[in-house]
Amino acid sequence: MEYLSAAHTLGIVTIMNPSPLLTAEQTRVFPWEKLTWLIVNEGEAGDLLASVGDPQTVDMVELVLPSEGAPEDETVIRSAHAVGSKLANHPTFKDVGVICTLGSVGLVAFVSLAQDGGKKAFYLPSAKLDGPVVDTTGAGDCFTGYFVSGLMGMKQGHEGDILDILNTSIKVCPSRISQYRILISQRGHTGSGNLCTEKGNNRQRPAER
């Protein structure tokens, strides 16, 4: 927590994906307000609210849907939007960008936009796969990695805004699931040294032992 406080004082962007979630006691004392970005799923958002205090009433954050219209999974999105609005408007998280991930459905991002102030909730769908899902291991890490990389690009003065970064991050994960083979087992041993080998490129596949 000391590092987070120092980063906040220095204006350094910080991102947290509390999975697994902290204990109820840890959640109550953690300095959430010093984060820049919080990445949670709907269940984690609900558990956080239960620990920091779920407000009885709250103004719903305006939800912006894609230009092509309402998605098939609108019920899931509306549910996440309701929980996320409570979290995003909570005094503890009022200055924190909240990203609520919805697995294959996509995400709802509660973002403060400089041009109009306040937060808006943007639903961004995930990409659709051409083929079957091979393995979802690391999909969330893939999303977070691309998101952090995009934020670093913004920090260095590169073009692109936060919605562009989120769109890229949520679209790239399914393609990685589809295009990469994840090698987990080596002579019956699992859990360490997971390797990703891209299909259709010049990289040499690691020899299997």
User: Structural domains in the chain?
Assistant: 2-181 (3.40.1190.20)
pLDDT of residue 161: 85
pLDDT of residue 126: 83
pLDDT of residue 116: 61
Sorted by sequence, the CB contacts under 8 Å of residue 157 that are 6+ apart come out as none
Sorted by sequence, the CB contacts under 8 Å of residue 92 that are 6+ apart come out as 32, 33, 52
As a three-state string, the secondary structure of 106-135 is EEEEEEECCCCCCEEEEEEECCCCCCCCCC
What's phi and psi for 122, nearest 5 deg?
Answer: -115, 125
pLDDT of residue 66: 86
**Tokens 């690691």 identify what position?**
206
Nearest residue to 107 (alpha-carbon basis) of 148, 142, 77: 77
**Residue numbers of the chain with a pLDDT score lower than 50:** 159, 178-209
DSSP percent split of the chain into helix, strand, coil, nearest 5: 40, 20, 40
Q: pTM (2 decimals)?
A: 0.78
pLDDT of residue 187: 40
Nearest residue to 41 (alpha-carbon basis) of 105, 96, 93: 105
28, containing H or E segment: helix 24-29
pLDDT of residue 22: 87
- Across the strands, what pairs with 97? 37
pLDDT of residue 78: 92
pLDDT of residue 154: 79
CB-based burial, 6-17: b 16+ in 10 Å, e otherwise = eebeeeeeeebb
